[in-house]
């Protein structure tokens, strides 16, 4: 990628189950298990080396999902989404995919701009409190860019869903 470049992948219908999907580095065999409450919780996203667990509001069904891989911080979309959190992510290979629950399908993503190393994930959510399994009402945006290691941050919270996750993490 050249300076100030962003590659965007739109997944119109991402199948979710158990309210989750995964970002998985190619160096990991699969998303696998996530153990307990992480030491640095960020509500609707949890990370371990080479993988991230991304929660959605829908228990099962289809959501819209966009991933933007940038060479720098692209800026949060504060007006377009109800909830926004960020967290550090370590990519051993510099190549990742978005996996549906249980390994059903993997959606290839552009190579990460700085290759193997540390990145920042900014996860945006809209419609998490909707309960319509028949129509795509939820949409998610995941931004990925190179950054030094860093802890979690909640930039915006408006949904009851994110608030429940944050309350759960604080109580453990």
Collapsing DSSP states into helix, strand and coil, what is residue 167?
helix
Q: Which of 37, 157, 31 is nearest to 86 (CA)?
A: 157
Q: How does pLDDT run across 89-133, given as a tens digit for each residue?
A: 999 999 999 998 777 789 999 999 999 999 999 999 998 887 655
Among residues 123, 90, 92, 98, the alpha carbon closest in space to that of 24 is found at: 98
Cα angle vertex 66, ends 95, 107, to 5°? 45
* Residue, of 112 and 165, whose pLDDT is higher: 112
What is the reported pLDDT for 102? 72
Q: Taking the model in full, what pTM does it have?
A: 0.89
In the predicted structure, residue 38 carries a pLDDT above the cut 60? no
Q: How many CB atoms lie within 10 A of CB 142?
A: 23
Instruction: Say if CB 106 and CB 23 are below 8 A apart.
Output: no
> What is the Cα–Cα distance from 135 to 27, expressed in whole angstroms?
35
Segment among 31-45, 79-93, 127-141 with least mean pLDDT: 31-45
Pick the CATH number of 6-171 from 3.60.21.10, 3.30.930.10, 2.60.34.30, 2.160.10.10: 2.60.34.30
Share of the chain above pLDDT 90, in %: 50
Domain segments of the chain as ranges:
6-171
Pairwise pLDDT comparison (119 vs 39), residue with the higher score: 119
Mean pLDDT of the 39-52 span: 82
In this prediction, residue 2 carries a pLDDT of 45
Joined tokens for residue 69: 């891989």
46-71 confidence digits (pLDDT tens): 888 899 999 898 888 889 999 999 99
């Amino acid at each position: 990628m050249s300076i100030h470049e962003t590659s965007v992948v739109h997944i119109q219908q991402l199948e979710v189950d158990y309210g989750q999907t995964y970002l998985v580095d190619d160096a990991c065999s699969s998303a696998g298990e996530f153990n307990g409450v992480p030491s640095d919780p960020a509500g609707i996203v949890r990370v371990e080396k080479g993988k991230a667990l991304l929660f959605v509001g829908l228990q099962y069904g289809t959501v819209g999902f966009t991933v933007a891989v940038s060479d720098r911080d692209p800026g949060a979309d504060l007006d377009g989404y109800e909830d926004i959190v960020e967290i550090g992510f370590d990519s051993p290979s510099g190549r990742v995919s978005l996996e549906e629950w249980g390994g059903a399908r993997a959606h290839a993503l552009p190579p990460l701009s700085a290759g193997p190393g540390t990145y920042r994930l900014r996860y945006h959510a809209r419609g998490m409190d909707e309960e319509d399994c028949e129509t795509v009402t939820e949409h998610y945006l995941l931004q990925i860019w190179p950054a030094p290691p860093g802890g979690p941050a909640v930039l915006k919270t408006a949904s009851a869903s994110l608030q429940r996750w944050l309350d759960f993490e604080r109580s453990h």
